[in-house]
Structure 1
Amino acid sequence: MSHEINQSGPTAEVRSRLTALALGAIGVVFGDIGTSPLYTMKETLGTHGMTPTPSAVLGVLSLVFWSLIMVVSLKYVTFVMRADNKGEGGIMALMALAQRSMSGSARARWVLAAFGIFGAALFYGDGVITPAISVLGAVEGLGVAAPALDKYVVWIALVILLGMFAVQRHGTHKVGKAFAPVMTVWFVVLAILGVRQIIANPQVLYAVNPWHAVRFFINHGDTSFIALGGVVLALTGAEALYADMGHFGKKPIRVAWFGFVLPSLLLNYFGQGALLLSNPRAIESPFYLMVPESLLYPMIALSAAAAVIASQAVISGAFSMTREAMSLGYSPRMAVVHTSREMSGQIFVPWVNKLLMVLVILAVLGFRSSDNLGAAYGIAVTGTMTVTTLLALVVARKRWNWSMPAVILVGVLFLVIDLAFFGANLLKIARGGWFPLVLGVVIFTVMTTWRRGRELVVREIKQSGLALQPFIENIAEHPPLRVPGTAVFLTANQHAVPHALLHNLKHNKVLHERNVLLTVEMLETPVAEVEERIEIKPLEGNFFGLELRFGFAEDPNIPQALSRCTREGLGFDMMDTTFFLSRENIVADVRRPGMALWRDKLFAFLSRNAMPATAFFQIPGNRLIELGAQIEI
C-alpha cells in the first residue's frame, strides 16, 4: 500500500515524515538510476568504435540530458506515477488498472493481460542484469587504481553480490534506513565531481541545446542509432522507481527526484563530458578519471556500496511484483515475509531472492565485465518501458477521460522515444541481448501457463461437481448423523458440492451441524473496500455460502477475515471450527482440450511445488483436514 503524506496533520510533522520518506526513497528507489554514471558514457562513446570528438561528446550528453527529462521526469515521475492502483505501482498494478478500464471487452482485457505479463517478465530480466552490471561497473575501478587487481574483479563482485542478497531478509525498511545516508553521500559526491570539471570546461553546458543531439544523428548516421543502446543505460531504474511507488508514495519520490537526484546526476554527466572535451583518452573510464588520485580507493568503496544499493530498487520491485502476480493469479503461491509493522508494502519473498541470486551470479560469471553486460542490457528495460506507456495510455483514455487527440499526442511523443530505444537495443541481441530476452520468454511462459492451468482446474471442478441445491434437498430428506461444530469447505464454485464435503460424508458418514462453503476472490485493486470484503448467503439445512474478497496487495488471512463475520450475522469459534480442503493432484491428459501436453506437465510441476493454499491463506494446521482429489487437464 502507498504511504502518501496526510496533509491534514501538523505542518512540522508532515514535513518531517515527508523528509524521512524522501530519504528512504533515496536509499532504495534511486540506487539503480543513481549508479548509471559509472558506465553510461563509457558504454555509449567507448565501445562502438566512436571517437569522442567534441561534437560526439556534446551530442551524447544532449541525448542523456533530454532522455532524463523526457523519459524519467516527464513520462514516469509526472505521467505514469499518476496511474497508481490505490497507491500501488508497477506494471502488474498498472495492468490490473487498465483491465478494469476495459471491463466490457473480454478480448481487450486478454490483450492487455498479455502485454502486462510480457512487460513484467522483461522486468525480471532487468532484475538480473542490473545488480550484475552495477556491481561489476563499480569494482572495475580497481583496474584503474591498480591494474594488477583487474583479474580479481569478478570474484570481488561475486562476494559483494552474495552479501547483498543475504541482507534482503531484513527488509526494505531497515535496508533503506541503512542505505539512505550512503546514497545521500553518493549523490553529493556525484555533484561535486561534476562541478569541478564543469568549472574547468564550462562550454560543456551547451549540450543542453537539443540541436546537438540532432546534429549527432546527422553527423554519425547508423552509429548514432547504435549509440542509443548506450544512452538508455542512463534511464535504468525508471521502471523500478514506478514499481517501488507503493513502498514510499508518490510525493516523497517526486520531491527526492526533482530536488536532489536529478540535479546530481546531470552535474555528474556534464562533468564527465567536460573531462572528455579536454581529454578524449579519458573515455577508458571517464567516471573514475574525474576522481582525484588520492581519493580513488575511497571512491571505489563508495561506488561498490552504491552499486549494491542500486540493485535494491530492482530487487524490492521484483518482490512487490511477485506478490501482485500471485494475487492476480499469474504466479504460483510463494511465502511472503512482511518486514515492517507499519508499511504493508515492504515485503521479502525468499524464493524470488534465491532465484535472482543464482541468475545474477550466472550472469557475472558468463559476461565477466560491465562492457559485456552493457551489450546484454537494454532490451528488457526498453521493452518494459514501451509496455508501460501503452498501458498508461489506456488508463488515460478510459479512466481519466482524456480526449483522443490528447492521448494520441502524448502516445506519439513517448512511443517514438521508447521504440527508438527498443530498436537500438535489438541490435545487441547477438552480443548478449538474447540473455534477458530468454529470461523474459521463460517467465512469460511460466506466468501464462499458471494462469491458464488454474482456469482449466476451476473449469474441471465446476464440470465434475454435483449441483449444490439438489444435494441439500437430498440431505434434508435423508439426514446423516450430525456432529457439533462448524465445517468450512474451501471451494471455487458456490453452486457445486465441494469434493472435500463429499469425501467426508462418504468415508466418515457424518455431517457437521453447520457447513460453510467458502470462496476466496482476489480483486484487481490493491485493497478491498469494506463493503465488498464479506458476502454471506444463508442456504437451507444450516448451510451457508461465504465469499471473502481481498485486494492483490493484501495478505489473504482467512481466520482473521472469519472473525469479522460475526457482525455480519455468522459468528465463528475457531476452537470449534474445522477446515476441509481438497488437495489437487494435477494429471496431464493429452486427450483433454486445453494446453499443449508440455504446458500441462509444466503446470502440474508448478502446482506440486507451489506453497499450499492452507499456508497461503494462513489456516491453522491443527484445525485442518486435507482430502486428495485427482484432476485431469
Structure 2
Amino acid sequence: MIAGISVVILIFLFMIQRFGTHRVSYTFAPVLCVWFVLIGGIGFYNIIKHDKTVLKAINPMYIVEYFIRNKKDAWISLGGVVLCTTGAEALFADLGHFSVRAIQVSMCSMVYPALILAYTGQSSYLRQYPDEVSDAFYKSVPGPLYWPMFVVSILAAAIASQAMISGTFSIVHQSLSLGCFPPVKVVYTSANHEGQVYIPAINYILMLACIGVTAGFKSTVKIGNAYGTAVVFVMTLTSSLLVLVMIMIWKTNIFLIILYILTIGFVELLYLSSVLYKFTSGGYLPLAFSAVLMIIMYVWNDVYRRKYHYELDHKISPARLKEISANKNMSRIPGLAMFYSELVHGIPPIFEHYVSNVPALHSIIVFVSTKSLHINKVPPEERYFFRRVEPRELFAFRCVVRYGYKDVREVAFEETLVTRLKEFIQEEILLQNQMLSTIGNNAEKGTEPEGEIVERNNDVANAKQVEEEIMQQEIEQLQKEWEEAGIVHMIGESEVIAKKEANIMKRIVINHVYNLLKRNVRQREKVFDIPHKRMLKVGMTYQL
C-alpha cells in the first residue's frame, strides 16, 4: 500500500511539471521554513525531555572512539550515516536562482541548526527507547504534532523531489547547448527566470524510472542505498572538479590544495568506499543509470564532431563558388533562402549536392549556423555575426547565431535576422568608405602633384557614391524579396553511415546506436519552429 501511494504521489508530482515551477514555488519557502522549525523544535523538545548529555556527541573525538571500538562495523555503518546528509544535499540541486549570500545565511541560520537539533533529539529519544530505532523519526514526534508533521514531511519530500527534477532539466538544457545530448523539446516556463525550463521527454522518462524503482524495490533500504551511492559519487566528483578549479582558475597555493585533498578528499573517499560495500543491495542502480546516460552522450557528441569535421574537410572552395555564380544555366528565383548548417567556416558540402541536382538558386542566400558558447548569455547586439560570401554577384552571406546556455531563442527569428542583415550591409559599406577616405588622406600627404590629388579625391568620392548606391539597392532588394517572395528554410538532412573499412565498434556506434537516437529525437525544424509550408529538406549521405 505504501509503494502504491508513493507511485500515485510521483505521478502527480511529474504531471504538474508542465505548469512550471514558478506556479507553485511561492509555497516552497514557507513549507520548508515550517519543516525546519518543526524538526528543530521537536529535536530540542526531545533533548530537554529525555537526555541532555547527547549534545556531547558533537565533539569529534567520539567519532575516533567509535571507529576504534567498532572497526569494520563502524566503516560499514558510514553507508547509513551518509543518508543523514542526503536530504540536505538535495537542497543544493536547484539553488542556481539564489545569491551566494542568501545560501550562506539560510544554511547557517536555519538549515544546519535544525538538522543538528533534529538528529541529536532523535538520539536523545533512542537513549530512552532503543527498541524503536527503525522508526525513530515519527516515534519521537509528540502525539498532538504527529499528523501535522506527517503532512509537512510529505510536502517537504515533494519539494526536495521537485528540486531534483528541476536540477535535471537544467543540466539537460545546458548539455543540449554544448552539443552533448540529443535534441529534445525545451519549454521555458517562466518569463523572468531563464533557468526555469520544462523538458517533456526527460520528465516522462524520469517518471517511468522513478515508478519502476519504487514498484521494483518496494523498500526504503535499497532505495536509500541507491540514493546514498549517487550522493557520495556526486560529492566526490564535485570535489575532484573543484581541485581542478583551484589549480587552473583560482591559482590556489599548492599546500592549501594538498590540505583540502587530505581532509575533505579523504573523508569523501571513506564514505564512497562504504556505500560501495552495499553495491549489490541497490547501490548499482545510479551507476547503471549513469552508464546508460554516458553512452548516449558520448555517442551523440562523438558522431556530432565527426560530422562537423567531415563538412569542414569537404566544404566548397571559393573557385567552385565562382563557377556556380558564373554558370549561365543556373536560374535565380525570387525569395530569400536560409540554408541551415553546423559548419561555421565555409560552405557545407550539402550545398554542392543541392546545386548539382537543382540548377536554381534564390535571389538571396543566407547560410545559417547556430552555435552555443560556454557562457550563460550572449548580448543581443553580439548574437548575429555576418560575413559576405564572395563573389558579390552571388548575393550570399554567412550568418553565425550565437547563444549562451541560458539564452532563449527569439520568437521573431526571421525578422530579427533580416534586420541584422540590413545593418551588416550598411556597416560593410561604411567600413569600405572609411578605407577609401584613408587612401585619399594618405595621397594628400604625399608628393603627388595637386592635379593628381584632386583627381584621386574625385575617384574616391565617386567610389563612395557607387558603394552607397549598391548598398541601397541591396537593402531594397532584400526588403522586397522578404516581403513579396518570403523566406524558404532549407534543412540539410544528412544520413550518417560508417565507411566500409571501419571497424565493427565504429559501425555499431554510427550505424546503429547513433541512427537509433537520431530517429527518436526532435528534428532540427522543430527545434527552430520552422513552418512546414516554407521548409525544404536536402538529403545527403555522409560516410564517416
TM-score (norm 1): 0.72
Deviation at 1:271, TM superposition (A): 0.8
Q: In the alignment, does 2:191 pair up with 1:341?
A: yes
Q: Over residues 186-234 of structure 1, what are the superposed CA-to-partner deviations in whole Å (9 max), with x where a residue is unaligned?
A: 1111111111101122111111111111111111101111111112112
Alignment of 1:187-206 (within 5 A): 187-200=36-49, 201-206=51-56
Deviation at 1:349, TM superposition (A): 0.9
Kindly provide the amino acid, as one letter, of the partner of residue 424 in structure 1: S
Deviation at 1:342, TM superposition (A): 0.6
Matched with 2:440 is none
Distance 1:506 1:597, change over 3 A: closer
Measured in 1, the distance between the counterparts of 2:183 and 2:40 equals 44
Matched with 2:169 is 319
Deviation at 1:352, TM superposition (A): 0.9
Matched with 2:506 is 596
Matched with 2:294 is 444
Which one of the candidate residues 541, 554, 559 is aligned to 2:407? 554
Measured in 2, the distance between the counterparts of 1:495 and 1:271 equals 65
Deviation at 1:385, TM superposition (A): 1.3
The question of whether the paired residues in 2 share the 8 Å contact of 1:237 and 1:313 is answered with no
The question of whether the paired residues in 2 share the 8 Å contact of 1:556 and 1:618 is answered with no
Q: Over residues 255-312 of structure 1, what are the superposed CA-to-partner deviations in whole Å (9 max), with x where a residue is unaligned?
A: 3222222222221111111111222112021100111234433332222222111211
- Look up the SS of the partner of 2:402 in the other structure: strand
Distance 1:281 1:257, change over 3 A: same
- Look up the SS of the partner of 1:247 in the other structure: coil
- Look up the SS of the partner of 1:285 in the other structure: helix
The question of whether the paired residues in 2 share the 8 Å contact of 1:516 and 1:543 is answered with yes
Matched with 2:277 is 427
Q: In the alignment, does 2:178 pair up with 1:268?
A: no
Structure 1 vs Structure 2 CA RMSD: 2.3
Q: In the alignment, does 2:452 pair up with 1:542?
A: no
Alignment of 1:166-181 (within 5 A): 166-181=15-30
Matched with 1:583 is 493
- Look up the SS of the partner of 1:569 in the other structure: helix
Deviation at 1:343, TM superposition (A): 0.6
Structure 2 regions of 5+ residues with no counterpart?
427-474
Matched with 2:8 is 159
Matched with 1:456 is 306
Deviation at 1:317, TM superposition (A): 0.5
- Look up the SS of the partner of 1:248 in the other structure: coil
Q: In the alignment, does 2:540 pair up with 1:629?
A: yes
- Which moves more between the two structures, 275-284 or 292-301? 292-301
Q: Over residues 542-591 of structure 1, what are the superposed CA-to-partner deviations in whole Å (9 max), with x where a residue is unaligned?
A: 22222221112223445475244443337776653222111223335563
Measured in 2, the distance between the counterparts of 1:239 and 1:467 equals 52
Measured in 2, the distance between the counterparts of 1:539 and 1:492 equals 17
Distance 1:167 1:609, change over 3 A: same
The question of whether the paired residues in 1 share the 8 Å contact of 2:189 and 2:198 is answered with yes
Measured in 2, the distance between the counterparts of 1:504 and 1:284 equals 70
- Which moves more between the two structures, 565-574 or 189-198? 565-574
Alignment of 1:40-51 (within 5 A): none
Matched with 2:455 is none
Alignment of 1:94-173 (within 5 A): 152-173=1-22
Identity %: 32
Kindly provide the amino acid, as one letter, of the partner of residue 143 in structure 2: E
Structure 1 regions of 5+ residues with no counterpart?
1-151
Distance 1:252 1:552, change over 3 A: same
The question of whether the paired residues in 1 share the 8 Å contact of 2:229 and 2:272 is answered with yes
Kindly provide the amino acid, as one letter, of the partner of residue 168 in structure 1: Q
Q: In the alignment, does 2:222 pair up with 1:372?
A: yes
TM-score (norm 2): 0.83
Distance 1:242 1:624, change over 3 A: farther
Measured in 2, the distance between the counterparts of 1:560 and 1:189 equals 55
Matched with 1:610 is 521
The question of whether the paired residues in 1 share the 8 Å contact of 2:38 and 2:149 is answered with no
The question of whether the paired residues in 1 share the 8 Å contact of 2:387 and 2:399 is answered with yes
Q: Over residues 347-375 of structure 1, what are the superposed CA-to-partner deviations in whole Å (9 max), with x where a residue is unaligned?
A: 11111110111111111111112123223
Q: Over residues 139-173 of structure 1, what are the superposed CA-to-partner deviations in whole Å (9 max), with x where a residue is unaligned?
A: xxxxxxxxxxxxx1111111111111111112122
Aligned residue pairs, count: 481
Which one of the candidate residues 323, 343, 362 is aligned to 2:212? 362
Matched with 1:225 is 75
Measured in 1, the distance between the counterparts of 2:225 and 2:209 equals 17
